[in-house]
Structure 1
Amino acid sequence: MEVLSEREWRGRASAHRDRVGAWIEPHLRRGREQVAHPVEDFLFTYYTFRPGRLLRWHPGAEVILAGASSYGANYRDCAEGAVLDLELVLPQRTAAISWTRELLAATASRPPYLGCFGMHEWAMVYRTPEVEIRHSSFPLRLSPERIEEIVDQRGVRCGHFDAFRFFTPPARPLNVIQPTRERQRELEQPGCLHANMDLYKWAYKLSPLIGSELVADCFALARDIRIVDMRASPYDLSALGYRPIQVETAEGRAEYATAQRAFTERSAPLRRRLLQECDRLLALT
């Protein structure tokens, strides 16, 4: 096992809290003030990892925290300090780790597809009265009629089930792919913004068996992707300081594809790290 000196693990835990706290505090403040933020709140509402759990630092499996005692749930004290109790944590996670590993590997094995141009967000408001739109406190950039026309003209090609399930009923038949939960490993590909945002989900589902720095790295990626995701949506978020990516134009589609390609490259090493952690944990079983 790796042994971290008390100075080292306390320093890493403090650095993690400082990093993550800068993301969490504005969200908690908005909650107290009952102010919605359609970009950043998504990371705490759609994803189920509570802010307090994201804030807490874990070293991962087989790491001893020298000098620690009663470090918390799922830890046991040992002669050198405290360590995650794998006999308590790992058996109940093995099936989920195997499933996650297969999904990550399948996604990584495919070439990225960069031709969706973010139309999934448009399909979520297609033929929907404005009062029923999810982020109705913010105006749309275009009229409902123009949104409908653009979706009809461009079509939708979304293979991510957790985006597709939010499509409006009239938009679902327009999708050239009909994803299901059962086809998730078959369809996910590394150019998909939502598949890359979901690296955060797979990371926190592996916590506390993996280091919290990796979870935070995946959160940072998801946060940046969410900004682009909503900038390319039909919402007008200029009041929040977000310049739209006008994917209804050729220039906007080129800008979106460039950002998508950059996120594909940025997500690849994080996906590899998660795969390596899955393999390491499965080997411990």
Structure 2
Amino acid sequence: MATTLNLVGAGHVGRVLGRLLARQGGFAIGQVLTRSPASARQAVGFIGAGQPVERYDQLQAAHIHVLAVGDDQVGAACAALAAAVPLAGSIVFHCSGALASTHLQAARDAGALVASVHPIRSFADPAAVAGHFDGTYCGVEGDAGALAALMPMLTAIGAQPVPIDAGAKTVYHAAAVFASNYLVTVLDAALRAYQAAGVPEDVARRMAQPLAAESLANVFRLGAAAALSGPIARGDMATVARQQQAVSAWDGPTGALYGNLIEPTTALARRKSR
């Protein structure tokens, strides 16, 4: 007997999960509910299975309900689902990286097991992600019974589930921001600083690329402490002070960013020395 799934919200993440599960075998996509009938039809077309619906009361009972909605909609979507569909004995999970499964209390009160499953990928190109999903890490947490059922499902579509602490879900999500978003911000500061020294932007990118690429490679090969180099790692704090003063004189916010990075980098250097 196939495991039935309903999708509430079918943006990029929901569409990718739906397509992968529909193609896996052993899973049947039931109803797909999105903000508009048109987007629901488009989602079903991408997934290759399912029935587009317009309202929560058109959803039918299913083994698993996936809430692939925005973070600010998780609570409301869960409450609407619990009010419209019998959930006793089913599993409800959301895909938010920032919210814990505790935000699904309405489903739990209705008798469902709850969890969160957060695929750690950029979903800008859903078709590309669906075509190369193998090895994708997914942070998971929630009720033990829900995870026992979801772990094999995720493994079947090529994911690598990683249990996380629900109480640290926001810190967990911030890790991705540090590894991706803020990394871009720091690199932008480097590129602008090169340009302030008279280096053309295209040349600045070529100059920074080997430094950044080698540093990243060393972090993932050796660990962050061992990969650290530069004046703080050498204990040359006089150079650091001169740099902070010069950068602050050139651009105040970038100087503040430089200054804010001194203390954590000094702590990292102490770990390196140990």
> Could you tell me the TM-score, scaled by structure 1's length?
0.24
Higher RCO (CA < 8 A, seq sep 6+)? 1
Give 1 or 2: higher strand fraction.
Answer: 2
- Bigger radius of gyration, 1 or 2? 2
